[in-house]
């Protein structure tokens, strides 16, 4: 799958990273012990050098067409004493649930669909 420009959301230890990119390529490759690891190759917006990442176990990647205004929910919250703390533990499944709800709301409000969603691909057994 190829996309000229889009926004990549990639789950990390404490929340989703948002990457605006061009020349996005998504495919599956054999990597380490994984027969079907997800490989995403892209060039970050305003940069020239291509980058890539490979997700083997339980990939959580969403790609939307174009440069989006959707910011993933913050895994941090402020407290009365002025400090910031995480709302979630690392890789907390509740964060993914909250992200999916915010993404669904954004897509409905803007009448869009995701170009690629690894969670849907896993459910469908797709390639």
Residues 6 or more apart whose Cβ sits within 8 Å of residue 20: 5, 6, 7, 8, 44, 45, 67, 68
Give pTM, 2 decimals: 0.89
- Tracing tokens 């409905």 back to the chain, one arrives at 108
Does position 74 have pLDDT exceeding 60, yes or no?
yes
- Tracing tokens 């027969």 back to the chain, one arrives at 35
Does position 121 have pLDDT exceeding 70, yes or no?
no
Q: What is the largest CA-CA distance in the chain?
A: 49
* 119 band by pLDDT with thresholds 50, 70 and 90: confident
What is the tens place of the pLDDT at every residue in 13-23?
888 999 999 99
Q: How many CB atoms lie within 10 A of CB 113?
A: 9
């Amino acid at each position: 799958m190829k996309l000229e420009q889009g926004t990549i959301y990639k789950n990390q230890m404490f929340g989703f990273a948002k990457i605006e990119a061009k020349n996005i390529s998504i495919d599956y490759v054999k990597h380490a012990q994984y027969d079907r690891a997800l490989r995403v190759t892209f060039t970050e917006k305003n940069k020239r050098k291509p980058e890539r990442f490979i997700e083997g176990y339980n990939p959580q990647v969403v790609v939307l067409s174009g440069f989006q205004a959707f910011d993933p929910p913050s895994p941090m919250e402020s407290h009365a004493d002025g400090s910031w703390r995480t709302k979630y533990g690392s890789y907390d499944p509740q964060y993914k649930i909250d992200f999916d709800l915010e993404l669904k709301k954004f897509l409905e409000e803007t009448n869009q669909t995701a170009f690629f969603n690894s969670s849907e691909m896993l459910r469908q057994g797709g390639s």
